[in-house]
């Protein structure tokens, strides 16, 4: 049996609830989140090394040049990327690693790791998305508008994901993602070594 953890991508429009759902999900010890690097400024509640590794553009450029990032992308005027070392270490230790990333990064990961499990987290409606995004109160009006426009483009890529979860209630969405992980762990390709061992 393959004891490696699953590489799980969670994407979805800004405000769909990715951060909220993932925060709940990682209360389960089988899951860990990969903390990304970004050039965006921290929000009031965000801590360096917990929510993101906050970097200058130069520092981010160095991380790319030194091959430290598994993937990276520009999103609404800032750079975001996944540090490679932590992800590899956690997968080896058997943890399911969550990459909460946008669609371009997700595409890069899906090409490099076809076995990665991709989940698109959708809000119940566009109206609800706008309500959540404005209600969060962390971005100014122009940024909110940019993110809503970007959301329209992102949702077009929904068919590229293996699974879709509607984030109506946080607990429901968390439960569904856990169900997906459990099923993926039962895929026959993870049990190939049992065939030899059985002879």
Q: Which residues sit at the interface with ligand ADP, rule CB under 6 A?
A: 12, 14-20, 132, 135-136, 167, 169-170
User: Going by C-beta distance under 8 Å and a sequence separation of 6 or more, which residues neighbour residue 143?
Assistant: 76
Q: Taking the complex as a whole, how short is the minimal distance between the CB of residue 15 and ligand ADP, in angstroms?
A: 5
Q: Taking the complex as a whole, how short is the minimal distance between the CB of residue 149 and ligand 5GP, in angstroms?
A: 14
Phi, psi of 15 (to 5 degrees): 95, -5
Angstrom distances, CA of residue 175 to CA of 36, 95, 165, 170: 24, 17, 10, 9
Q: Compute the distance between CA of residue 89 and CA of residue 72 in angstroms, rounded to an integer.
A: 19
- Exactly one of 2, 26, 40, 68 binds ligand 5GP (CB under 6 A); which one? 40
Give the helix/strand (H/E) hosting 121. strand 117-122
Using the contact rule CB under 6 A, the part of the chain among 56-64, 67-75, 112-120, 158-166 near ligand 5GP is: 67-75
Minimum CB distance to ligand 5GP smaller for 18 or for 55: 18
Minimum CB distance to ligand ADP smaller for 46 or for 184: 46
- Residue 16 has a CB neighbour count (10 Å cut-off) of 27
What six digits make up the tokens of 24?
A: 């709940």
14 binds ligand 5GP (CB under 6 A): yes
DSSP structure string for 62-112: HHHHTT-EEEEEEETTEEEEEEHHHHHHHHHTTPEEEEE--HHHHHHHHHH
Q: Taking the complex as a whole, how short is the minimal distance between the CB of residue 98 and ligand ADP, in angstroms?
A: 12
- Residue 87 has a CB neighbour count (10 Å cut-off) of 21
73 binds ligand 5GP (CB under 6 A): yes
Minimum CB distance to ligand ADP smaller for 136 or for 185: 136
**Sites for ligand 5GP among residues 105-144 (CB under 6 A):** 105
100 binds ligand 5GP (CB under 6 A): yes
82 binds ligand 5GP (CB under 6 A): yes
Q: Taking the complex as a whole, how short is the minimal distance between the CB of residue 140 and ligand 5GP, in angstroms?
A: 13
Q: Compute the distance between CA of residue 83 and CA of residue 37 in angstroms, rounded to an integer.
A: 7
Residues that bind ligand 5GP (CB under 6 A): 14, 18, 36, 40, 71, 73, 75, 80-82, 100-102, 104-105
């Amino acid at each position: 049996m393959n004891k490696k953890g699953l590489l799980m991508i969670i994407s979805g429009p800004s405000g769909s609830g990715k951060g909220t759902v993932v925060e709940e999900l990682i209360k389960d010890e089988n899951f860990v989140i990969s903390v990304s690097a970004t050039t965006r400024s921290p929000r009031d509640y965000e801590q360096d090394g917990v929510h993101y590794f906050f970097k200058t553009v130069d520092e981010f450029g160095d991380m790319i040049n030194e091959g430290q990032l598994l993937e990276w992308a520009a999103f609404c005027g800032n750079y975001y990327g996944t540090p490679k070392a932590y992800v590899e270490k956690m997968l080896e230790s058997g943890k399911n690693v969550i990459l909460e990333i946008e669609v371009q990064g997700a595409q890069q990961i899906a090409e490099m790791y076809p076995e990665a499990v991709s989940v698109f987290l959708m809000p119940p409606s566009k109206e609800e998305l706008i309500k959540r995004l404005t209600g969060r109160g962390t971005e100014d009006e122009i940024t909110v508008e940019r993110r809503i426009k970007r959301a329209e483009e992102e949702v077009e890529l929904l068919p590229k994901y293996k699974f879709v979860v509607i984030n109506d209630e946080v607990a429901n969405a968390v439960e569904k993602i856990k169900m997906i992980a459990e099923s993926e762990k039962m895929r026959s390709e993870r049990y190939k070594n049992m065939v030899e061992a059985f002879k």
